[in-house]
Amino acid sequence: MKEVDIIKKTIDFVKDTLQGAEGGHDWWHIERVHNNTKLIAATEPVNMFIAELGALLHDIADAKFNDGDENIGPEKARKFLQSLQVDEKIIDHVENIIRNISFKGGNFTSTFTSAELNVVQDADRLDALGAIGVARAFNYGGFKNREIYNPSVKPDMQMDKETYKKSNAPTINHFYEKLLLLKDRMNTVTGKKIAGQRHEFMLLYLQQFYNEWNGKA
């Protein structure tokens, strides 16, 4: 099968798999990450086919929505790509992208690196920032029935991976525990530039939020 046809089939598979998903991790998130990937990859030395497959398949069974199981997503992706007879080396690489893309508190080091992972990770991170980042954070908090904000619950900056995954903190804390840390963790030149703008927007958003919270005009 030609690469363009594999991409088309993958899009259909992901749309189908993500029907009914939480609004911040649905097909539209994948479409945005796919588009971000193409934008960022324009100035990076990557195999576009691998990067696109990684972007499209990175969230088909997020551990957050599968009792913490981190194997379901990569295994599902592998089976799907095998069904299309994609080269095993490419499948291995895509699986590694899916396994290593996530933040999970950021306080651990991953063993796998590749230019393709760098691009897809930046593309995914950009979708956690800016206006869409704000929308996704509150949608996720609502989905989990979390408080929007609670001044007496302080952000926890030392969380290990397990604590981060179990956290039930108010959504505003997520800005400090993850979203505002991302701009300094971007891998690519284009990713860094866009992240900088989106970061500034979130700071402005938080300023306005606290003004309103505190009854200021």
Positions touching ligand ADP (CB under 6 A) are 24, 62, 102-104, 128, 136-137, 140-141, 167, 171, 174, 178
User: Which DSSP symbol is given to 85?
Assistant: T
| Pair 43, 191: CB distance under 8 Å | no
Would residue 44 be called left, alpha or beta, if left means φ above 0 and alpha means ψ between -120 and 50 degrees?
beta
Residue 124 makes contact with Ni ion by CB under 5 A: yes
| Tokens, residue 155 | 């952000």
Q: Shortest distance, CB of residue 178 to ligand ADP, whole angstroms?
A: 6
The interface partner of residue 178, options being Ni ion, ligand ADP, none and the CB cut-off 5 to 8 Å by kind, is: ligand ADP
Residue closer to ligand ADP by CB (options 87, 200) is 200
DSSP state string for 104-154: TTS-S--S---HHHHHHHHHHHHTTSHHHHHHHHHHHHHHTT--S--TTS-
Question: CA 42 to CA 119: how far, in whole Å?
Answer: 10
The interface partner of residue 95, options being Ni ion, ligand ADP, none and the CB cut-off 5 to 8 Å by kind, is: none
Residue closer to Ni ion by CB (options 124, 177) is 124
Q: Shortest distance, CB of residue 83 to ligand ADP, whole angstroms?
A: 25
The interface partner of residue 34, options being Ni ion, ligand ADP, none and the CB cut-off 5 to 8 Å by kind, is: none
The interface partner of residue 104, options being Ni ion, ligand ADP, none and the CB cut-off 5 to 8 Å by kind, is: ligand ADP
CB count within 10 Å of CB 125 equals: 26
Residue closer to Ni ion by CB (options 21, 149) is 21
Q: Shortest distance, CB of residue 182 to ligand ADP, whole angstroms?
A: 8
Which 30-59 residues touch Ni ion, going by CB under 5 A? 59
User: Which DSSP symbol is given to 65?
Assistant: G
